[in-house]
Amino acid sequence: MKSVESLNGQDLRGMMATATSWLEKSAANIDALNVFPVPDGDTGTNMLLTMRSSVEEAYRAPDSSAAAVSQAIAKGALMGARGNSGVILSQIWSGLAQGLKGKESFTAVDLTEALQQAATAAYKGIGNPVEGTILTVIKDAATAAQGQMENGRGSLISVMEIVADAASESVANTPKLLPILRESGVVDAGGQGLYTILEGALHHLRGEAEQIQFRKPQMITSNLPQSTRVPQMTAVEEVPYGYCTEFMLKGEKFTTDEIRAKLKKKGQSLIVVGDATTARIHIHTIDPGNIIRYATSLGTIHQVSVRNMDEQYQDFLEMQKERAPAVDIATVAVVAGEGLTDVFTSLGVAAIVPGGQTMNPSTKEILQAVKSVASEKIFILPNNKNVILTAQQIQSLTDKRIEVVLTETIPQGIAALLAFGYEADFETNAQLMGEAKSRVRTIEITHATRSARIASLNIKKNQVIGLLDGELLMAGNEPLHVLNKMLAELNLKSMEIITIYYGADTSADEAEWVSAGIREQHPRLQIEVVRGDQPHSNYIVSIEA
């Protein structure tokens, strides 16, 4: 290799070739990171095929200038892009090529500026950018490069070292930004793929292409604490996923912005990249025919791929089931609210079914969650009296052994989980969980949806109301006042802990103010405040011995 202070197109081509070989060593491992409910192809494989197309085109570049080779790399990526991750990767190389336009060779400063353009281009092509993905990783890497240059350390190797390090840290951080990654305990697959590519390029810069032949890339792990519990597999809403539709469009005088605007409301995960004569389109849609008809009105379509994501989802469930560790007994719970979901998953629930008050899940949704769990013995926690009957239908629909613990409230469900013992047998756990849920009292503070007269209560619309174990007992104007009145009705002498789960429409400051008021009235009790994010209820309060 020539000087590391300045590189030409031949050097860039070598970097890409080494990066592709390095990616190939871990493509299967990157595929295995896929945790999204609908697999959009295999991320590692898609990125590898896109990179191979880039390198092949790079060797057909008209000359060895940085500009010509980078343009060829971008063209090859666009023409050979596979899947969501491959299309985004093609945008990254397109932005890099824009940054190197007109340059015979490039320096660390040029590379830093090109990486900034690569990050901008990656975000621009996405209809709805999501953080915690490959987008975040390229942005963080480019930002780190900029910081390196501002600190006056400007060699190409030093820039690429900081870029690779920043990409690694960004990948490890992706579970903090995407709940589905956090729940599954893995990092983003596309981000891992990009880090591997950047690391491979760095190996080439260091002259290590031969030394890494017998090594494998590092798979980044989450920087969140690792859970010892069963992997979480959250059931999804009962809606069809449709078709993953992607193709190349060739024509004249169309703009990617216009195409993107036209298709924005016709599906999910929309990506439109390219120029006035060639565009790569990726979209998840219920009606792929409509998308294709529109595209053919603009030009000719090539490399058409239409995949049924509902079938992919069933394959995904089976794959996750096979990967999950064998567990003798597992639990499935019906829960609404991100905070409460975190509480239940931290206590070891194997699958969460979204739902609760006013949003009761269907039998199919609960059955889907039961099937996703590797265990053959399962406890279901309905956590709402209106869900119990639905949950009781599951036993007739599966060969698994099902026990519905008759939890009518969220605190009862939590108490039942705390009583669950992994060492105990099924019958013993059924008894322990049933007894535990009966020792908990539940207060719910919400607002009346309409005016009504119930027993001695004359309730006005939007007035604060309080329910004790599901029975309406109090009405008033202030949540703290109603909550204190309800606590006064209970015999708290035998109680020790009050846990307040505050809802999506309640601020943390307000919840702390309410808890302080309760502490003042009941100084002997241990008061805890937990973010629940539940809809409808300002507070769900657990009172336990």
User: Domain range spanning residue 338?
Assistant: 326-438
Residues 253 and 304 in one domain: yes
* Residue-level pLDDT at 241: 67
- Is the pTM here over 0.75, yes or no? no
Q: Where residue 468 sits, what CATH number does that domain have?
A: 3.30.1180.20
Q: How would residue 264 be classed by pLDDT, with cut points 50, 70 and 90? A: confident
**Same-domain pairing of 283 and 381:** no
Token output for 284: 């998840």
Number of independent structural domains in the chain: 4
State how far the alpha carbon of 439 is from the alpha carbons of 107, 348, 430, in Å: 70, 21, 15
Q: Which of 116-120, 319-323, 520-524 has the highest mean pLDDT?
A: 116-120
The string of DSSP letters for 245-295 reads: EEEEEEESS--HHHHHHHHGGG-EEEEEEE-SSEEEEEEEES-HHHHHHHH
236 within domain boundaries: no
The Cα angle at residue 341 between residues 337 and 343, in degrees rounded to 5: 120
Distance CA 459, CA 465 (A): 8
pLDDT of 216 over the 70 cut: yes
Residue 233 lies in a domain: no
Residue 308 and residue 359 share a domain: no
User: Mean of the per-residue pLDDT values for the chain?
Assistant: 86
- Distance, in Å, from the CA atom of 391 to the CA atom of 9, rounded to the nearest integer, reads 63
Residue 542 exposure: Cα atoms within 13 Å on the Cβ side: 26
Nearest CA among 346, 528, 522, 533 for reference residue 541: 528
- d(CA 295, CA 297) in angstroms, rounded, equals 5
Same-domain pairing of 346 and 296: no
Which CATH number does the domain housing residue 84 bear? 1.25.40.340
What are 493-507's pLDDT values in tens digits?
778 889 999 999 889
Convert the pLDDT of each residue in 237-256 to its tens digit.
Answer: 445 668 888 899 999 888 88
Residue for token pair 């990009």:
194
Domain boundary among 253, 285, 312: 312
Residue 464 domain flag: yes
> Within this chain, do residues 123 and 48 fall inside the same structural domain, yes or no?
yes
- Assess contact for 52 and 66: CB atoms under 8 A: no
Tokens of 467: 């329910």
Mean pLDDT of 481-485: 87
Judge whether 68 lies within some domain. Answer: yes
Q: What is the pLDDT of residue 51?
A: 95
What is the arithmetic mean of pLDDT over 12-26?
A: 94
Cβ-contact 191, 84 below 8 angstroms: no
Give 404-426 pLDDT, tens digit per residue.
999 999 999 999 999 998 778 99
Supply 197's token pair: 């590519």
Same domain, 386 and 458: no
**Same domain assignment for residues 421 and 483:** no
pLDDT band of residue 230 (cuts 50, 70, 90) is very low
Per DSSP, 175 falls in state H
Note whether residue 411 is domain-resident: yes
Does residue 223 fall inside a structural domain?
no
- Together in a domain, 143 and 256: no
* Phi then psi dihedrals of residue 197, to 5 deg: -65, -45
Q: Please indicate, yes or no, whether residues 15 and 140 belong to a single structural domain of this protein.
A: yes
Checking if the pLDDT of 209 tops 90, the result is no
Q: Mean pLDDT, to the nearest integer, of 336-346?
A: 89
Q: What percent of the chain has pLDDT over 90?
A: 45
Question: With bands split at pLDDT 50, 70 and 90, how would you rate the model's confidence at 175?
Answer: confident
Could you give the CA distance from residue 354 to residue 237 in angstroms, rounded to a whole number?
8
- Say which residue the tokens 């798979």 belong to: 219
Of 260, 279, 312, the residue at which a domain comes to its end is 312
Q: Same domain, yes or no, for 275 and 306?
A: yes
Buried-exposed string 169-205: b where 16+ CB fall within 10 A, e elsewhere: bbbbbbbeebbebbbbbbbbbbbbbbbbbbbbbbbbb
Tell me the CATH number at 277: 3.30.70
Cα gap 488→491, rounded to integer Å: 8
Per-residue pLDDT at 348: 85
Q: Specify the pairing of strand 471-476 against strand 464-468.
A: antiparallel
Tell me if 302 is assigned to some domain: yes
Q: Which of 312, 344, 370 is the last residue of a domain?
A: 312
Q: Is residue 220 part of a domain?
A: no
State pLDDT tens for residues 189-201: 999 999 999 999 9
Longest CA–CA separation in the chain, Å: 89
User: How would residue 226 be classed by pLDDT, with cut points 50, 70 and 90?
Assistant: very low
Give me the CATH number covering residue 392: 3.40.50.510
pLDDT by residue (tens digit) across 265-284?
Answer: 888 888 888 888 898 998 88
Contact call for residues 21 and 13 (beta carbons, < 8 A): no
Could you tell me if 124 and 165 lie in one domain?
yes
- 216, containing H or E segment: none
Q: Are strands 268-274 and 329-335 parallel, antiparallel or unpaired?
A: unpaired
Query: So what's the pLDDT on residue 38?
Result: 40
How many helices and strands in the chain, by DSSP H and E? 20, 18
**pLDDT reported for residue 40:** 46
The pLDDT value recorded for residue 334 is 94
The per-residue pLDDT for range 300-319, each reduced to its tens digit, is: 999 898 888 777 666 655 65
**Same domain for 473 and 411:** no
Task: Give me the mean pLDDT over the 121-126 stretch.
Answer: 87
State whether the Cα torsion 146-147-148-149 is positive or negative.
positive
